[in-house]
Structures are given as structure tokens and as C-alpha cells.
Chain A
Amino acid sequence: MPDATKTQTETEAVADATAAPSAATGKTQDKPRSLWGDAWFDLRHRPMFWISSILLLILLVIAAFPGLFTGADPRDGDLTNHFLTKPELGHFFQPDWFGYDGQGRSIYARVIYGTRASILVGVGVTAAVTLVGGLLGMLAGYFGGWLDSIISRVTDIFFGIPFLLGAMVVLNAFADRKVYVVILALAFLGWTSICRVMRSSVITAKQADYVTAARALGAGTSRILFRHVLPNALAPTIVVATIALGGYISAEATLSFLGLGLADPTISWGIDIAEGSQAIRDNPHALLFPAGMLSLTVFAFIMLGDAVRDALDPKLR
């Protein structure tokens, strides 16, 4: 079980950093630090970074192995015994911990099993957007000219489409809305901001003297682009991507809530929020728990993005 060992090393790292900060500092002072080394050094001293990464780590483990956290079947509804049962907050990790929903299904089990869809959508959209937007932005920024004009105008057009409205229109065209369909729909509309950020930072980086120097020493275009321009232009993109990740997760929930995102039998917080909202006055728990999990996840990603931004921006130190 690779994730369990990962958790262990991660917690050890936490322990190391907190128990012996002086030792850690001493070690890094000897070694030269690059921009990324510096950022890492800075990150390790931020509680915000640790809180968000531990939260995210737990969420990732839940997403990967929901069976570890609950024995209950999230699709098993028992209307006779459990119709809208109130939560038993003392029953940790039991099926009735968060109560039951309108169809007699364990809300705790549904919250646990719903994590995977949200994380997949968030990470998947971010990966796709960073790849496509990053590449297009890099090409536009580096080569300029007509290529830049075309890419920039296309970016403007896509930027003009309201994100959620556009996603609804696109998703409406699909009858069978699986996770990958939602990922593609959101990525299709979401790549523009990354593209713009990448373009502008590549334009800054390509004017640097070291790029001219590399050219004067005989480096080819691809080497200049990937070895000299990209590493110097990556930081803002990473920050924007991490912060946007939380936004994609909430976009998925919004779409599912509206009935245009994921659909049953996929388990998603958005779907549960939509269902829970129907009985909100008498039984708010059916809404609150999936909504709470959603907020927590988005919060963790945005907090991580913030921490990374602070670490990568030397002016904020």
C-alpha cells in the first residue's frame, strides 16, 4: 500500500521540521539554494502549508481508497429504517455518523465515496489546463508575431465565454456525463487564464540576457525554450494553477447541483448537495456534510496555492 508509507514519511517530515528547525536550517545553509530550493525552504516554515498539505494528503488517500474509511455501501438505500435519520455525532466512522439521506443511504459513506470524483475533476482539469494553456502561452510568448496574434485572439474569444454558462452548454450536449466528460468540458473553457499568465511570463523571460547569451553560445530553439525560458517562467503558472484547482472542484459541484455535471450513479458532493437542499429545513444534515467537505477541499487547495505563491514571490518574504 504505497499511500500508507507516503503518509508515514510525510508525517515524519513534519515531525523533523517542527522538532528540529535549527538542524534543518543548518543543513540548508551549507547547500546552495536555487529558486525552488529557496521556495521549499520557505514553505517548510509555513503552518498554512503544512495544514493544507496534510488535509490534501488525507483527501487524496480517501479518494484513492474510500473502502478504508467506511464499510458501508454508499449506494445501499434502506428507506424503511433510515429515511432522513439525524446524525449520531458520537459514532465515529460508523455508517450513521453523519446520518442518512432521503433515500436511506449513509451520508458518511457518500461523502467518503464522493471525494474521488471531486479530486479527479480538480486535478484532471488543472493538469489539462496547465498542459494546453501552458503550451499555447509558451508558444505565443516566445515566437510572437502572427502565432501570438492568433493564439491571443483565440484566448480572448474563449475568455469572453462565461465559464459556468459555457460549461453548461457544452455538457448539455452529452447524454452520458462521466468524470472525463466533465474534465474535458471544464478544461475546454478554462485554459485561457493559464495561457495568458504563461505568455506574459515567457515574454519577460525571453528578453533576459541569459537567453541572448544562450543563443550566442549556440543553443537551439527547443533548448532555449525548455531549459532557459520555461524554468524561469513557470512559477506564476504553478501558483495560478494551484489556486484555480479549488475553483474547478466547486465548478464541478455547481454543475452537478444544477443537474448538468456528474449524474447518478456517479457519487459526487454536488449531486448530494442538490438532493440535500430539498429537505433543508427539517434535515439540514443531508446538505451540510457534503457541502462542508466541499468547502474544506476547496479551502485546502486555495490555501496551498497561497502558500506556494508566497514562497515563490521573493517580494512577499
Chain B
Amino acid sequence: MTIMDKTADIPAPRSGGPDDARLLEVRDLHVEFHTRDGVAKAVNGVNYSVDPGETLAVLGESGSGKSVTAQAIMGILDMPPGKIPQGQILYRGQDMLTMSYEERRKIRGQKIAMIFQDALSSLNPVLSVGYQLGEMFRVHQGLSRKQAKAKAIELMERVKIPAAKQRVTDYPHQFSGGMRQRIMIAMALALEPDLIIADEPTTALDVTVQAQVMDLLKDLQTEFNMGLILITHDLGVVADVADKIAVMYAGRIVETAPVHELYKRPAHPYTRGLLDSIPRLDQKGQELYAIKGLPPNLLKIPSGCAFNPRCPKAEDICRTEIPALVPVSEQDGSELPGRGSACHFWKETIHG
């Protein structure tokens, strides 16, 4: 694991001590699942960090480990079969993986909250939304039923649900998809956490509602100065909201960059492939581009760079040596802050 150790320092300068500790820092995180067929390595040494008010977008295909990383941060990974053999998850400098169950439970919801993809199945069908929103206050703050209901109405108004007072006793199935996602957001926001992890919050919604929900999330984030980790496979959603992007492939971060730089000049062939896959209006009539092949089987990750079987630029070194996430610089050697690429040929990719 010498290569991973080297990469641990790359994406951002290390924090000196607990005083200037980052809001959340994930260091060299590994997650594996022990299945009948072997060990599936879902996350293989992920490093990223989020500061207050900052939005980190984690981009990747299904199975790239982006959601598993989020679940590990939340502590809602099913263990077993899941296992975290290595790594640290630091919340304000404290490693959450070494905390007791109770300590972690107190962080969940109050300090770090999560928004799920499918709001209908993430809301309890037999309880009214008002009850479920109010539950946050009753459990964590010990408010009475009445106070909790008032707070629930307030929250629903904050996420712009019309006629909140009348609808507070409604059940999840009586809301539209967009409204349900707003309720999920309201629930995550209830205790004004420092960090919100949104796991594909708009995937189940149609495009117009997607934009509304993302705008709402962005507004609320600015209002409360929260950190936001946005997990998505939708490059369009990311562009407007994120500050920086981490692209994941087969459980590793293959590229990090400030949001606009990534779109302008990707430094990894996988990122380039993703960007080229976006359908463009001016190329009407042509065949759509797709990255050839399939995401790797996590039980048998290819040797060397995991992307090599699909990579148009792959050479012999790619099949033998795992590329480290190295800082990316301009052709003249001047630094590009926040940029990193895990490709042996990043120079050719970004400048070529």
C-alpha cells in the first residue's frame, strides 16, 4: 500500500491540528464487502475533505464506491458484510471510526445528515410527514408533540412546501416526487447540521423539478453555511452547484478539480470520457459517445490502473502499475491548485 500512502497527501494540504481541522476529512478509506464469492473491494483508499460552506461533488458510475463512502461516513454501512479495514473519517479532527456507537449516533442527524435518493421509500409510509419531521425535534431536543409540530410546519415552509399548515398531517404518498424530496431535505436540515450528504438527491425527479430542488439545496446551504457532499452521476447537476469535484472509479478517486476547470480541461481519460458522453445539441444526428466496456467487477479489479481495459490511451505501464493521485500542473510547471489526477499520462490528457 505504499502507493496509497503517497497519495494521501495530495488532494489538499494537511491540517496542522484540531484547531484548523477541516469539517470533514476522509483519509485513505477502504471499505470491503465479504461475500460468498470473495472480497468485493468497494472503496480502495479514498481521500477527500469538505470545509464549511463548501460543496464537494463526488462523481462516478454505479458501483464506483461513491455511495459506499457516504454510508461509511454516516455509519450506516451494514457490518457485516461490510468492513472498514483501513482509513480514517475525521469530523472536526476526531476520527469517527473509533467513536462509540452512542457518540456516532449523536453526530448523525445533529451534525451530519443525509438526503436519500428515493424520497418515497425513504419516508415511512404509515407515519404522517409532520410526525416524521417532528420526530427529529422530539428525539434529539426533547420537544413536546405540539412544539415539534409547530417546528415541522416551520421546516416545511422553509423548504417551500405550499400550504404547509394543512399538509403537515398528510402522508408521504400524498405528495408529489419533488415535494417528497423537499420533505427529505427538510428532515436532514431540521437540526441545522454542519454537513449534509446528498446521495443522488435528484435522480428520481424530472428535470424541471431537479433544478428547483438543487436551487433550494444551494440556497439553504448558503444560509446555514453548511458543508455539502453531493453524490451524483449527473454532470449537469454538478456544474451549477459544486465548488470542487472528485471523480471516482472502482473505489478510487481518479481526478480532483475545481468545478469549472474539470469541465474545461479534464486530466484523466475517464473524466474526458464522461464529458464526451454528454449529448450535445450541436452534434445532432451523430452517434452518441459512450465509454466502451463495463465498470470493473469489484471482486476482480484489473491490475494496474482499474480503468485500463476501457481506456483509449492505455499502455503497458497502465496494466502493471497503479497510478497515484498526483498534483496536476500547467505546461510551464506552475501549480494548478486543487487539481490532481491518477493517470500515468495526465500530462498528455490535459495538454494534449
Contact = CB atoms under 8 A, between A and B. Distances in A.
A34 B124 contact: no
Given A213-B122, A228-B124, A232-B125, A218 B169 contact: no
Contact of A217 (B114, B125, B171, B174): B114
Contact of A227 (B116, B118, B135, B170): B135
A219 B114 CA distance: 13
Interface stretch (B102-110, B269-277, B288-296): B102-110
B140 A218 contact: yes
A209 B171 contact: no
B225 interface: no
Interface of A: 32-36, 208-210, 212-220, 223, 227-228, 231-232
13 contacts: A34-B126, A209-B122, A210-B125, A213-B116, A213-B122, A217-B188, A218-B105, A218-B107, A218-B109, A219-B109, A220-B105, A223-B139, A231-B124
Contacts of B49: none
Interface in B90-121: 105-110, 113-114, 116, 118, 121
Contacts of A232: 124-126
Interface of A: prevailing SS? helix
Interface string B63-75: 0000000000010
A231 B127 contact: yes
Interface in B125-179: 125-128, 135-136, 139-140, 169-171, 174
Contact of B171 (A34, A208, A212, A228): A34
Nearest to A232: B126
B281 interface: no
A217 B184 CA distance: 11
B1 interface: no
B113 A209 contact: no
A32 B136 contact: no
B253 interface: no
B113 A34 contact: no
A266 to B, nearest CB: 42
A208 B122 CA distance: 7
A214 B171 CA distance: 16
A227 B126 CA distance: 10
B187 interface: yes
A32 B168 CA distance: 10
A27 to B, nearest CB: 15
Given A218-B106, A218-B139, A213 B123 contact: yes
Contacts of A223: 135, 139
Given A216-B74, A217-B114, A218-B140, A210 B122 contact: yes
A257 B174 CA distance: 54
A209 B116 contact: yes
Contacts of A215: 76, 108
B126 A32 contact: no
A216 B171 contact: no
A87 B110 CA distance: 75
Given A216-B76, A228-B127, 15 more contacts: A32-B170, A208-B121, A209-B121, A210-B123, A212-B122, A214-B124, A216-B113, A217-B109, A217-B113, A217-B136, A218-B139, A219-B109, A219-B135, A223-B135, A223-B139
